[in-house]
Structure 1
Amino acid sequence: MGSVTESRIVVGVDGSSSSRRALGWAVEQARLTGAVVDAVACWVYPTMYGVVMAKPESRADQEAGRMLARAVAEVVGDRPPAEVRQSVLLGNAAEELLARAHGADLLVLGRREHHAFVNVLAGSVSQYCLQRARCPVVLIRDPEGH
């Protein structure tokens, strides 16, 4: 008998309404498929001209963890219909999400609507992941555009 691999859905959570909608969609999909949800929040030290502007004791990682816990609590409550694991990662969100999604069944991301020119100049996590992911990517749009 071969080994059974865990079915996983990775979802990026940044505190925005579109990422909360993506988390809700991922949890419902996990309930339907028996998958586990890996809810991931990423953070980086703020920099200016390549110089780190925050001190390590600023606890940005703890703030990201609190944001993720709040989002999970708001979306799924105390009794989620599927297992939701929470991870807070230091690093570029797009790169960290792609690494975490390696071997996953799905990567789910919220998508905020921006002017096309902004996306061309700044790029976006969702666009980066769409172009490079090795698993299917689901984008959940925020109908309010927030």
Structure 2
Amino acid sequence: MSMSLKRNQLRYSKPPPQNRQELLQSIERDRGVLGAYLQKLNSQQEDITTSPASAPLAPSTPSAPVQQRCSYDLFFESACITVKNLPPKLAAEAKSRISQIISEFEIRAIEMEALPHQGQAMGKSRSTGDTLVDDKSEIVYEFHPCP
């Protein structure tokens, strides 16, 4: 029991920022610490991949996935750290809202993928003047001006 109490006290030992300026300073400080850590990791990884003894052991990886990891994984790791430092109720609300946003984007992606397929399902059509023929259904549409 005392172990979990100590762990909770450590997690919240830093008082939360009280105003916008303190919050911005906290973000800048955390960003600097995270940037220094990532640079250290990158330099260590470069040392490992460039050393001749470890070169045969290290598999060759394309550089494109590393770029994507840096942009998306870094963002979500940072968000994860932030959410973990929130009080439990706020962390649960953050998880709920983030899940809702992700679900909305997934629905939009599905809708965007469905749009090109809807055009194919309707069939192609050809038009000549005031008539339109749907190749799939062979329906002929004629357009006449209103009187």
Bigger Rg over Cα: 2
Q: TM-score, normalised by structure 1?
A: 0.25
Give the structure-2-normalised TM-score: 0.25
More helix by share: 2
Larger strand share, 1 or 2: 1
